[in-house]
Chains A and B, each alone.
Chain A
Amino acid sequence: MTKSTESWGSRVGLVLAMAGNAVGFGNFLRFPVQAVQNGGGAFIIPYLVSFLLMGIPLLFIEWSSGRFGGKFGHHSTPFIMQSMDRRKLWKYVGVFGIFSNIAIAAYYCYIESWTISYIIHSVIGTFDGMSQHAVAAFFSDYLYISTTTTGIPYEALIFFVICIALNAWILSKGLSSGIEKVAMIGMPLLIIFGIFLAYKGITLKAGVHGAINDGTVGLNFLWTPDFSSLANPKVWLAAAGQIFFTLSVGMGSIQCYASYLKKREDVALNAMSAGWMNEFVEVVLGSAVIIPIGIGYLGIDKVVELTNIGGLGLGFRTMPYLFEQWGPVLSAVAGLAFFGLLFFAGITSSLAMGTPGMGFMMDEFKWSRPRSAWVFGFVVMILGLPTIFFFNEGVFDEYDYWAGTVSLVVFALLEAILFSWVFGLDKGWKEITEGADIKVPLVYRFIIKYITPVALILVFTGALLRPANDDWSKVSFGGWPLHNESILGQLQHKGAGPNNQWFSQSFYAEASGIVDSVYSTPGDKFFFRTSAVDNSGKVNNKVYQYTPVRHQLLIEKGDIVTTGQVVYIGKVINRVFYMDMARLLLLTIFLLISVLVYIAWRNRTNERRTGI
Chain B
Amino acid sequence: MNTPALIMMISVEAVITYLTVWFFYKVLTIKPKPEPDSFSENDEEQR
Contacts and interface: CB of A to CB of B under 8 A. Distances in A.
Contact of B20 (A83, A225, A264, A277): A277
A41 B32 CA distance: 40
Interface stretch (A135-143, A233-241, A268-276, A409-417): A268-276
Contacts of A444: none
B33 A83 contact: no
Interface in B4-33: 4-6, 8-9, 12-13, 16-17, 19-20, 23-24, 26-28, 30, 32-33
A272 B30 CA distance: 14
A216 interface: yes
A220 B6 CA distance: 7
Contacts of B37: none
Contact of B1 (A86, A223, A264): A223
A72 B8 contact: no
A263 interface: yes
Interface stretch (A119-127, A279-287, A519-527, A543-551): A279-287
Contact of B26 (A86, A264, A437): A437
Contacts of B20: 273, 276-277, 279-280
A224 interface: yes
B8 A41 contact: yes
Given A225-B4, A276-B20, A438-B26, A265 B33 contact: yes
Given A263-B45, A269-B30, A272-B23, A216 B12 contact: no
A269 B23 CA distance: 7
**Chain B interface size, under 10 / 10 to 19 / 20 to 34 / 35 or more:** 20 to 34
**Chain A interface size, under 10 / 10 to 19 / 20 to 34 / 35 or more:** 35 or more
B5 A220 contact: yes
Contacts of A306: none
A86 B47 CA distance: 9
Nearest to A68: B45
A85 B2 CA distance: 54
B30 A437 contact: yes
Contacts of B28: 12
A276 B27 contact: no
Interface in A266-311: 266, 269-270, 272-273, 276-277, 279-280, 283-284
Contact of B24 (A86, A220, A273, A283): A273
B24 to A, nearest CB: 5
B33 A224 contact: no
B36 A270 contact: no
B13 A283 contact: yes
Nearest to B31: A437
Contacts of B19: 272, 276, 279
Contacts of B6: 223
B27 A41 contact: no
A262 to B, nearest CB: 9
Interface string A423-463: 00000000000010110000000000000000000000000
A266 B47 CA distance: 21
Given A223-B9, A269-B26, A272-B23, A41 B4 contact: yes
Contacts of B36: 264
A406 interface: no
A264 B33 contact: yes
A270 B27 contact: yes
A163 interface: no
Given A41-B5, A223-B9, A279 B45 contact: no
A351 to B, nearest CB: 20
Contacts of A263: 44-45
Given A219-B1, A220-B1, A11 B27 contact: yes
Contacts of A219: 1, 5, 9
A22 to B, nearest CB: 12
A273 B8 CA distance: 23
B12 A72 contact: no
Contacts of A600: none
Q: Which of B24, B30, B32 has the most CB of A within 10 A?
A: B24
A523 B13 CA distance: 48
A220 B13 contact: no
A451 to B, nearest CB: 20
A15 B24 contact: yes
A83 B32 CA distance: 27
Nearest to A84: B47
A224 B4 contact: yes
Nearest to B36: A264
Contacts of A279: 16, 19-20
A224 B27 contact: no
A544 B17 CA distance: 47
Contacts of B44: 71-72, 263
A246 B9 CA distance: 20
Nearest to B30: A437
A71 B45 contact: yes
A593 interface: no
A44 interface: yes
A87 to B, nearest CB: 13
A280 B47 contact: no
A476 to B, nearest CB: 36
Given A276-B20, A284-B16, 16 more contacts: A40-B5, A41-B4, A41-B9, A83-B47, A220-B1, A220-B5, A223-B1, A224-B2, A224-B4, A224-B5, A264-B36, A269-B30, A273-B23, A276-B16, A280-B17, A438-B26
The 8 A-B pairs at the shortest CB distance, nearest first, are namely: A273-B23, A223-B5, A280-B20, A223-B9, A224-B5, A41-B8, A276-B20, A220-B1
10 contacts: A41-B4, A41-B9, A219-B1, A220-B1, A269-B26, A273-B20, A273-B27, A279-B20, A283-B16, A438-B26
Interface of A: 11-12, 15, 40-41, 44, 48, 71-72, 83, 86, 216, 219-220, 222-225, 263-266, 269-270, 272-273, 276-277, 279-280, 283-284, 435, 437-438
